[in-house]
Amino acid sequence: MNFRLRPHDEPEINLIPFIDVLLVVLIFLMLSTTYSKFTEMQVNLPAADLDKQRDYPKEIIVAVSSDGRYMVNKLPVEGRGVESLGRALAQAASAGKDSTVIISADANASHQAVVSVMEAARRQGLNQITFATQSSQSAGAP
């Protein structure tokens, strides 16, 4: 009879089945989760403080009215096309291609009118375009 003691092995915990089960649960939760879709989007228009506004020495201010008329540096533009607006921008660009175009559009102006200003500026080689904002104090005023 063999009465010798066998070496006692330390029991090990096998983590591989545990990880497999967690991955299956994770995949199940990812597939069964429903994501809510927003039917309406809230848009807050930007407002800036007067102290933070920069002064552009080579600026061209283009005003866009609600009915689609344009004014370049307080001079009305004849016609509403991109070509006539481009000619007015070329005359107002005294600094050449370094001029900054500031678009000051009415809240009720169409997007097409603003895009036309951007297209006219692009055709004249004026690549620096920014938009005018209202001060935060007057943003709440009617």
Span 98-139, pLDDT tens digits: 888 999 888 888 899 999 999 999 999 998 898 887 765 655
What tokens were used for 81? 């096309």
Predicted confidence at residue 45, as pLDDT, reads: 52
Instruction: Kindly state whether residue 15 falls inside one of the protein's structural domains.
Output: no
Looking at the structure of the chain, the number of domains it has is 1
Q: What is the CATH number of the domain that holds 80?
A: 3.30.420.270
**Domain span at 116:** 50-133
**Residue 105 domain-assigned (yes or no):** yes
Residue 29 backbone zone (phi > 0: left; psi -120 to 50: alpha; other: beta):
alpha
Is the pLDDT at 73 greater than 80, yes or no?
A: yes
Domain assignment present for residue 129? The answer is yes
Distances (CA, A) of 83 to 57, 89, 97, 130: 25, 10, 18, 21
Contact predicate 116/85, CB 8 Å: yes
In this prediction, residue 112 carries a pLDDT of 92
Q: How many CB atoms lie within 10 A of CB 50?
A: 10
Within a domain: 71: yes
> Is 2 within the bounds of a domain?
no
Q: What is the pLDDT of residues 15-60, one digit of tens each?
A: 899 999 999 999 998 888 776 554 444 555 556 555 555 555 588 9
Cβ burial 1-13 (10 Å sphere, 16+ → b, else e):
eeeeeeeeeeeee
Is 0.75 surpassed by the pTM of this model?
Answer: no
The span from the CA of 142 to the CA of 139, in Å, is 8
